[in-house]
Structure 1
Amino acid sequence: MLSQYYEQIETIVLNLSLMALFLLMGFAVHDVLKKNDVPLIGRAVVYLVLFLGAAGFLAKGIIQVFWQSSGVGG
Protein backbone atom coordinates (compact mmCIF):
# COMPACT_ATOMS: atom_id res chain seq x y z
CA MET A 1 0.00 0.00 0.00
CA LEU A 2 2.83 2.39 0.78
CA SER A 3 4.29 1.99 -2.69
CA GLN A 4 0.98 3.13 -4.23
CA TYR A 5 1.08 6.45 -2.41
CA TYR A 6 4.84 7.00 -2.42
CA GLU A 7 4.68 10.04 -4.71
CA GLN A 8 1.87 11.67 -2.72
CA ILE A 9 3.66 11.06 0.58
CA GLU A 10 6.85 12.50 -0.89
CA THR A 11 5.02 15.62 -2.06
CA ILE A 12 3.33 16.15 1.31
CA VAL A 13 6.59 15.73 3.23
CA LEU A 14 8.38 18.13 0.85
CA ASN A 15 5.69 20.77 1.26
CA LEU A 16 5.67 20.41 5.05
CA SER A 17 9.46 20.64 5.12
CA LEU A 18 9.43 23.82 3.04
CA MET A 19 6.78 25.30 5.32
CA ALA A 20 8.89 24.46 8.37
CA LEU A 21 11.98 26.02 6.75
CA PHE A 22 10.13 29.25 5.98
CA LEU A 23 8.80 29.34 9.53
CA LEU A 24 12.30 28.85 10.94
CA MET A 25 13.67 31.54 8.61
CA GLY A 26 10.93 33.87 9.82
CA PHE A 27 11.88 33.23 13.45
CA ALA A 28 15.57 33.78 12.69
CA VAL A 29 14.88 36.99 10.79
CA HIS A 30 12.60 38.24 13.55
CA ASP A 31 15.29 37.58 16.15
CA VAL A 32 18.00 39.37 14.15
CA LEU A 33 15.76 42.36 13.45
CA LYS A 34 14.73 42.61 17.09
CA LYS A 35 18.29 42.43 18.44
CA ASN A 36 19.58 45.08 16.01
CA ASP A 37 16.75 47.59 16.53
CA VAL A 38 15.88 47.81 12.83
CA PRO A 39 13.40 50.60 11.96
CA LEU A 40 9.81 49.72 11.12
CA ILE A 41 10.19 50.29 7.37
CA GLY A 42 13.20 47.97 7.27
CA ARG A 43 11.30 45.26 9.11
CA ALA A 44 8.36 45.66 6.74
CA VAL A 45 10.61 45.25 3.69
CA VAL A 46 12.33 42.17 5.11
CA TYR A 47 9.05 40.52 6.07
CA LEU A 48 7.56 41.38 2.66
CA VAL A 49 10.47 39.70 0.87
CA LEU A 50 10.18 36.63 3.10
CA PHE A 51 6.41 36.49 2.52
CA LEU A 52 6.81 36.84 -1.26
CA GLY A 53 9.28 33.94 -1.28
CA ALA A 54 6.82 31.74 0.60
CA ALA A 55 3.95 32.92 -1.61
CA GLY A 56 5.97 31.94 -4.68
CA PHE A 57 6.29 28.38 -3.44
CA LEU A 58 2.58 28.33 -2.60
CA ALA A 59 1.64 29.65 -6.05
CA LYS A 60 3.90 27.06 -7.69
CA GLY A 61 2.15 24.29 -5.77
CA ILE A 62 -1.32 25.53 -6.70
CA ILE A 63 -0.40 25.94 -10.37
CA GLN A 64 1.14 22.47 -10.38
CA VAL A 65 -2.06 20.94 -8.95
CA PHE A 66 -4.21 22.65 -11.59
CA TRP A 67 -1.90 21.67 -14.42
CA GLN A 68 -1.70 18.05 -13.34
CA SER A 69 -5.46 17.81 -12.92
CA SER A 70 -5.92 19.06 -16.49
CA GLY A 71 -3.28 16.66 -17.83
CA VAL A 72 -0.63 19.22 -18.79
CA GLY A 73 2.36 18.15 -16.68
CA GLY A 74 2.16 14.81 -15.42
Structure 2
Amino acid sequence: MLAKYYEQIESIMLDLGLVILFVLMIFAVHDVLKKNDVPMIGRVVAYGVLGLGAMGFIAKGIIQLFWQSSGVSG
Protein backbone atom coordinates (compact mmCIF):
# COMPACT_ATOMS: atom_id res chain seq x y z
CA MET A 1 0.00 0.00 0.00
CA LEU A 2 2.86 2.39 0.75
CA ALA A 3 4.30 1.97 -2.76
CA LYS A 4 0.93 2.84 -4.25
CA TYR A 5 0.82 6.26 -2.54
CA TYR A 6 4.56 6.97 -2.51
CA GLU A 7 4.40 10.07 -4.75
CA GLN A 8 1.48 11.55 -2.82
CA ILE A 9 3.19 10.99 0.54
CA GLU A 10 6.42 12.46 -0.84
CA SER A 11 4.58 15.56 -2.10
CA ILE A 12 2.79 16.11 1.21
CA MET A 13 6.00 15.70 3.22
CA LEU A 14 7.87 18.12 0.94
CA ASP A 15 5.17 20.75 1.37
CA LEU A 16 5.11 20.20 5.13
CA GLY A 17 8.89 20.47 5.28
CA LEU A 18 8.81 23.77 3.38
CA VAL A 19 6.17 25.16 5.75
CA ILE A 20 8.31 24.18 8.74
CA LEU A 21 11.38 25.81 7.17
CA PHE A 22 9.49 29.05 6.51
CA VAL A 23 8.23 29.12 10.11
CA LEU A 24 11.77 28.58 11.40
CA MET A 25 13.06 31.37 9.13
CA ILE A 26 10.38 33.71 10.46
CA PHE A 27 11.40 32.93 14.04
CA ALA A 28 15.09 33.46 13.23
CA VAL A 29 14.49 36.76 11.42
CA HIS A 30 12.18 37.97 14.19
CA ASP A 31 14.83 37.19 16.80
CA VAL A 32 17.57 38.99 14.86
CA LEU A 33 15.39 42.03 14.20
CA LYS A 34 14.33 42.23 17.84
CA LYS A 35 17.85 41.88 19.27
CA ASN A 36 19.30 44.53 16.91
CA ASP A 37 16.48 47.04 17.46
CA VAL A 38 15.74 47.40 13.74
CA PRO A 39 13.41 50.27 12.73
CA MET A 40 9.87 49.50 11.60
CA ILE A 41 10.60 49.99 7.88
CA GLY A 42 13.38 47.41 8.08
CA ARG A 43 11.06 44.93 9.74
CA VAL A 44 8.39 45.51 7.09
CA VAL A 45 10.92 44.91 4.31
CA ALA A 46 12.32 41.75 5.95
CA TYR A 47 8.90 40.25 6.61
CA GLY A 48 7.71 41.34 3.16
CA VAL A 49 10.54 39.45 1.47
CA LEU A 50 9.78 36.34 3.52
CA GLY A 51 6.10 36.69 2.71
CA LEU A 52 6.75 37.04 -1.01
CA GLY A 53 8.92 33.93 -0.93
CA ALA A 54 6.18 31.98 0.81
CA MET A 55 3.59 33.27 -1.66
CA GLY A 56 5.81 32.07 -4.50
CA PHE A 57 5.74 28.53 -3.16
CA ILE A 58 1.97 28.73 -2.67
CA ALA A 59 1.51 30.02 -6.23
CA LYS A 60 3.71 27.19 -7.53
CA GLY A 61 1.52 24.66 -5.74
CA ILE A 62 -1.70 26.16 -7.10
CA ILE A 63 -0.32 26.28 -10.66
CA GLN A 64 0.86 22.69 -10.32
CA LEU A 65 -2.62 21.61 -9.19
CA PHE A 66 -4.25 23.32 -12.18
CA TRP A 67 -1.76 21.79 -14.60
CA GLN A 68 -2.18 18.31 -13.19
CA SER A 69 -5.96 18.55 -13.24
CA SER A 70 -5.87 19.58 -16.91
CA GLY A 71 -3.59 16.67 -17.82
CA VAL A 72 -0.29 18.51 -18.19
CA SER A 73 2.47 16.47 -16.55
CA GLY A 74 5.18 18.21 -14.61
TM-score interval (norm. to shorter): over 0.9
Give the match for residue 65 of structure 1: 65
Shift of 1:72: 1.2
Q: After the TM superposition, which parts of structure 1 deviate over 6 Å for at least 4 consecutive aligned residues?
A: none
Separation in structure 2 between the aligned mates of residue 9 and residue 59 of structure 1, nearest angstrom: 20
Taking every aligned residue pair, what percent have the same amino acid on both sides? 74
Query: Residue type of the partner of 1:44?
Result: V
Higher relative contact order (CA 8 A, sep 6+): 1
Separation in structure 2 between the aligned mates of residue 26 and residue 62 of structure 1, nearest angstrom: 23
With the length of structure 2 as denominator, give the TM-score of the two structures. Answer: 0.97
With the length of structure 1 as denominator, give the TM-score of the two structures. Answer: 0.97
Q: Could you tell me which runs of 5 or more consecutive residues in structure 1 were left unpaired when the two chains were aligned.
A: none
Query: Residue type of the partner of 1:42?
Result: G
Give the match's secondary structure for 2:24.
helix
Q: Could you tell me which runs of 5 or more consecutive residues in structure 2 were left unpaired when the two chains were aligned.
A: none
Give the match's secondary structure for 1:32.
helix
Separation in structure 2 between the aligned mates of residue 73 and residue 67 of structure 1, nearest angstrom: 7
Q: How does 1:13-32 map to 2 (within 5 A)?
A: 13-32=13-32
Separation in structure 1 between the aligned mates of residue 51 and residue 27 of structure 2, nearest angstrom: 13
Query: Residue type of the partner of 1:67?
Result: W
